[in-house]
Amino acid sequence: MGARKPRKQVVTFTQRELTNSVFAVVRVSWYRDGREHEVEELQLDDDLDEKVLVLQHLIKSALHAGADVTIITERTAESLGIE
């Protein structure tokens, strides 16, 4: 039996209105043996000083670790440095 091909991570970005104090909602889906194993969700508050840098670091770290990432925010992907 050959080695499994690595799973390609997915980033999903949705731009929509959120409550006043929420900058972004981020869901990170973790996989084990090629199947979804666990989902974590967190909110980044709008009053967080380095919110864009925190969001970028979270996305990079999760992707590097093999997770999928879903981002919901009012901002555009381009304004957040997401390609």
Name the 3-class secondary structure at 31: strand
Q: What is the pLDDT of residue 2?
A: 57
Quote the pTM value: 0.84
Q: What is the pLDDT of residue 5?
A: 66
Q: What is the pLDDT of residue 49?
A: 86
Would residue 81 count as lying in a domain? no
Would residue 6 count as lying in a domain? no
Residue 66, domain extent: 11-76
| Nearest CA-CA partner of 29 in 16, 6, 3, 10 | 10
Q: What is the pLDDT of residue 44?
A: 95
Q: What is the mean pLDDT of each run of 10 residues along the chain (83 residues)?
A: 71 93 96 91 91 94 95 94 82
For residue 5, give the H/E element and its range. none
Q: How many structural domains are present in the chain?
A: 1
Q: What is the pLDDT of residue 8?
A: 87
